[in-house]
Amino acid sequence: MARTATVMVLVVGVALGVGPGPGVGLEPGGAVPAWAAPPAPRRPNVIFILTDDQGWGDAGFAGHPFVRTPHLDRLAREGTWFRHFYVAATVCSPSRTAFMTGQYPARHRIHGHFATAESNAARSMPDWLDPDVTTLPGLLRRAGYATAHFGKWHLGAGVAAPPPERYGIDVSGRSWCRSGRRSRWPRG
């Protein structure tokens, strides 16, 4: 740390025309050596937490009088808490579609929760979100982020359903709810 601070002062000094003299500590042509360049800005970590059926005030950091959520409180304190946020649907599959795509779920014909193929067909719904659609995890992955999803998936299930990796997710530990049962899927 001290070396970086000293180098930064030297580089600033040379840029201002003061310091030990012309060319001292610089590469040929006056370029700053790689070891003296300031570090690349750190990109923020992005953690998106979705909890079904949780009201806006149901956590400690949001002012709940007796629910204790110390880990969520710390995330809210040290990160960014989006207080003005719109959920595009009241049930799981369409709301997840909106979060993943940034689009209204009706654009993808997803207006209810995914269920059996027969039930989906009766409601004119696909059996899963189209894996070729642009998703937030896909965009983050292309920007160099490692992406992960843990928890309830509910964007399609069954043998033929695309795994989360098709949507830009590197690692997943997921479950899918149906009729009150929880079933663990093997990792994709």
Q: pLDDT for 54-82, tens place per residue?
A: 787 889 999 999 999 999 999 999 988 88
Q: pLDDT for 1-56, tens place per residue?
A: 333 222 222 222 223 333 344 444 455 666 666 677 777 778 888 888 887 777 87
Residue at 117 is within a domain: yes
Q: How many structural domains compose the chain? A: 2
- Supply the residues annotated as catalytic: 92, 154
180 and 90 in a single domain? The answer is yes
28 and 96 in a single domain? The answer is no
Going edge to edge, which strands form the sheet with 181-184?
148-152, 171-178, 181-184
- Which bin fits 79, alpha (ψ -120 to 50), beta or left (φ > 0)? beta
113 and 28 in a single domain? The answer is no
Residues 59, 81 contacting (CB under 8 angstroms): no
pTM: 0.69
Residue at 41 is within a domain: no
27 and 98 in a single domain? The answer is no
